[in-house]
Amino acid sequence: MTEFTTDFENLRGEFERVMQEYLASVALKPQILDESFRYSLQIGGKRVRPVLMFAAAKMLGGKISDVARLALALEMIHTYSLIHDDLPAMDNDDFRRGQPSSHKKFGEGQAILAGDALLNQAMCILLSECRKGRTYLDAAELIADNAGAEGMIAGQAADLAWQGKQAAGEGDYEFIVRNKTAKMLMSAVAAPAFVYGADENIRALLLEYGKNLGYLFQVTDDMLDVDGDFEKLGKSVGKDAAEDKLSAVKLYGMDECVAKADHYHELCLKLLAQLPYECSFLEEFTGFVRRREK
């Protein structure tokens, strides 16, 4: 196990403790809501967004506890988006993280409500964090904005709108990726800079890093949908082509996707090099995204 892998697993373990502590304080009614609410949160995943937030906080000289509840809210927002993304009206996927999707286990109606509950509980957490002062309010606003109608939801709407449309092009794809994927990663890496009142240049660099990391993440995800392995990914493959979705592979072909992934990888590293901090974990993380198989 490499030092990066050890550090990643330690940060993921810290988040799991934060999440379990929260879940121990929650008892939703009726029971099926409580079960479906917990199910999708607890079936695993890499916890990319909380790991990034914890790493960024430590890089800036802070502590995990400073951003723990912000990371929890962000992961809950991400999880709700996966539940809704898997619904028959969206991507219609029966599996998530190697387990039955929420709608396959609980039914479509309960899955929708589980996603709604996760989103609303996340917003309650963000509102609670705002009581800590102006910098937390700024961080919470960043997360909420990037998850909302001018962020992730806009990206999902565009993704659906352009499905099967031959007129869709590079600008449309860039809009989808920037909003649906990149803005959540921007929240993860930049929220700690807002919490600590970092100067505008630091915030801008981290936001730009998060954006390009999102582009890298999506291009590699699109490639994995073509040549990935269900056992490693934990979700269905080949769906982009089957549903004629606007993907990087559809636009550029696999060879150019490889070149684009390399470009975003190098751009991310150049942005990190401009930060006045020790960035080795984020550098390694960028390489991990470029090389990922799941």
pTM recorded for the entire structure: 0.94
Tally of CA atoms within 13 A in the half-sphere of 9 that contains its CB: 6
pLDDT in tens, the chain (294 residues): 799 999 999 999 999 999 999 999 999 999 999 999 999 999 978 999 999 999 999 999 999 999 999 999 999 999 999 999 999 999 889 988 889 999 999 999 999 999 999 999 999 999 999 999 999 999 999 999 999 999 999 999 999 999 888 777 899 999 999 999 999 999 999 999 999 999 999 999 999 999 999 999 999 999 999 987 766 656 566 777 777 888 999 999 999 999 999 999 999 999 999 999 999 999 999 999 999 876
Instruction: Name residue 59's beta-bridge partners.
Output: none
Tally of CA atoms within 13 A in the half-sphere of 165 that contains its CB: 13
Closest by CA position to 146, among listed 106, 86, 188: 188
Contacts of 47 (CB under 8 A, 6+ apart): 11, 12, 15, 16, 75
Neighbours of 291 (CB within 10 A): 10
CB 262 within 8 A of CB 192: no
Superfamily name with CATH number, domain 3-291: Farnesyl Diphosphate Synthase (1.10.600.10)
Site of tokens 């990914």: 233
